[in-house]
Amino acid sequence: MYSSLLKIQIKKELLLNESIQWLRVIEGKIKHAINFSAFRKALESDDMSFAIIQWAYKTILKIFNLVYSDLIKNDYHLKIWREDTRIILKKSDKLNYSILKTYRIITLLNCLNKVAEKIIAVQLSYTAEINDKLLNFDQMRDKKQRSAIDAVLNLVHNVQMTKSWENTLIYLLLNVKEVFDHVALKQLIKILIKLKILINLINWVKCFL
């Protein structure tokens, strides 16, 4: 699923003056990602649970730290981690199961892969927080100390301000996740280059997708 997509070429000269830096992965982030993972997650085909990984981490801590640090530093996501098992489940209390929307798909991912994704997610979240060029000020999701409550309060504030000015306010609500259910990798890479994201991170995104 990824062999043809990885042929995208990135011209390093476009990224010589990066304004956004990618932090070094520290041992504390790896430890947190491993130790604060739920035991009861469904297992992938290798049957390796978070409980096993946590016990292994206590025994060979240095190897775990070295592997994850080097993989992320060198912009590589293991091929075996990109594989998954997908299960189709029926949604309950539906009248017509011939309709696709009456089913949902759950994806079982490799637990070692989930650890890597958690580390990257923390890196991305922090990078987005300290760089105002990446996300709009009103962005709520995936930002620390922002929630659905903050989104509603923001909406109420705008309504009240518009009312006080005796103007008309129109809000257009879109389910973006449902509409854009596919990531165009080439377009995403172009956007990341335009934002002057560090080339290491761009290479990791290529490898991950």
Tens-place pLDDT, residues 67-122? 998 888 887 888 888 888 888 999 888 889 998 888 988 888 888 888 998 888 88
Residue 100, both tokens: 């696709």
For the chain, how big is the Rg over CA atoms in Å? 21
**What is the distance between the alpha carbons of residues 34 and 119, in angstroms, rounded to a whole number?**
9
Reported pTM: 0.64
**What is the distance between the alpha carbons of residues 65 and 30, in angstroms, rounded to a whole number?**
7
**What is the distance between the alpha carbons of residues 86 and 79, in angstroms, rounded to a whole number?**
17
At 106 the three-state DSSP class reads: strand
